[in-house]
Amino acid sequence: MKTKFEEIVDLHAIGGVNTRKLNDLLILAHSENLIPSIEDIEKVMFIGIDFQNDFMEQGELAVPNSHKDIKNVAKFIHNNLEKITTIVVSLDTHQLQQIFHPSWWIDKNGEHPKPFTIITKEDVESGKWVAVDKQEESLNYIRNLEKLGKKQLCIWTYHCIEGTDGAALEGQFSNIIHFHSTARKSAIKKIVKGQDPLSEMYGIIKPEYSQHEYCNDEFLESLKLYDKIIVAGEAKSHCVLESVRQIVEYYANNRDILARIYLLDDCMSPIPGYEEMTEKAFKELKDIYGVNIVNSTDLSLI
């Protein structure tokens, strides 16, 4: 490939203003004259989960070390640009009034909960926290979360609000995936998630709990077409973990598919306070399901 990494990605601008013009990048990408991805013998899917501005180190829900993750993942894509067939990205997308945001709840004094407050079934049943609207539906959601053994309801800072800069892809990651899309004639597949006001949706396949029972079966089935499925993203403790869990649970009886999954450990980081839980969960993914956990510099593509 003729175009140097530094011509596409500005490492000093990660998490900040994008210094590259998209049309200038795409002119360079067109000039590469690479083999179209449809002709790949080994089919490789890369899944980038929630690499968005609000999860960067200066974002509204900052993930420490996310800038390093962007650097590593951008270099991985550049080094393997001619080998990655399809790029999929997820976009966490919210409104202000959602069950996991402070505005949804008030206490007896009319105060909203502070970010990172945990709200339990007992808290709602006792009246410690009351939903501003849809009280019964909100209590039903929390009851089902606990019944299913899911994560407790955590109140997050307002983040990835639809239409804001925080909801956009981080600029340098955006540069490299759009360069790939043009150079390899491969459309980026974008999964928008998290818009149901009455449910958290960490994973890219389905919400934590929903009465609508939505599941992205079409995407799950599409994974069968690929020889390698490579995953990176933010945050490792939540949206990456739940996305991978949902995929491996669907394919629990198909070890061949599970063996195709590679998690890029140096391209994802957890939310502080969840480190121990995350490492335990990732060990289970490896030991129970046979998922591969590697560093981006150690994964060899044909």
Residue 301 has what pLDDT?
Answer: 83
Copy the structure tokens of residue 130: 């009351």
Residue type, position 138, single letter = S
| Run means of pLDDT, 10 residues per run, the chain, 302 residues | 96 95 97 96 98 98 98 98 98 98 97 97 97 96 88 94 98 98 98 96 94 90 98 98 97 96 98 95 97 95 76
Diameter over CA atoms, the chain: 65
- Residue 120 φ then ψ, to 5°: -100, 170
Q: Rounded CA gap, 206 and 265, in Å?
A: 23
CB-hemisphere CA count at 13 Å for 175? 28
Residue 93 has what pLDDT?
Answer: 98
Residue found by looking up tokens 């006001």 in the block:
197
Helix or strand (DSSP H, E) at 228: strand 228-233
- Residue 122 φ then ψ, to 5°: -65, -35
Q: Please name which of 83, 138, 74, 76 lies closest in space to residue 106, comparing C-alpha atoms.
A: 138
Please state whether the predicted TM-score (pTM) of the whole model is above 0.85. Answer: yes
Instruction: Please give the domain boundaries of the chain with CATH numbers for all domains.
Output: 17-34+42-96+158-239+247-273+288-294 (3.40.50.850), 102-154 (no CATH)
Q: Rounded CA gap, 81 and 1, in Å?
A: 8
- Residue 91 φ then ψ, to 5°: -130, 105
Residue 80 is given by DSSP the state: T
Residue found by looking up tokens 């009851």 in the block:
143
Q: Rounded CA gap, 292 and 298, in Å?
A: 11
Q: What pairing do the DSSP bridges indicate for beta strands 261-264 and 292-294?
A: parallel
Q: Rounded CA gap, 187 and 271, in Å?
A: 31
Residue type, position 259, single letter = A
Contact status, residue 219 vs residue 205, Cβ threshold 8 Å: yes
Contact status, residue 168 vs residue 13, Cβ threshold 8 Å: no
Q: Rounded CA gap, 250 and 246, in Å?
A: 6
Copy the structure tokens of residue 155: 């109140």
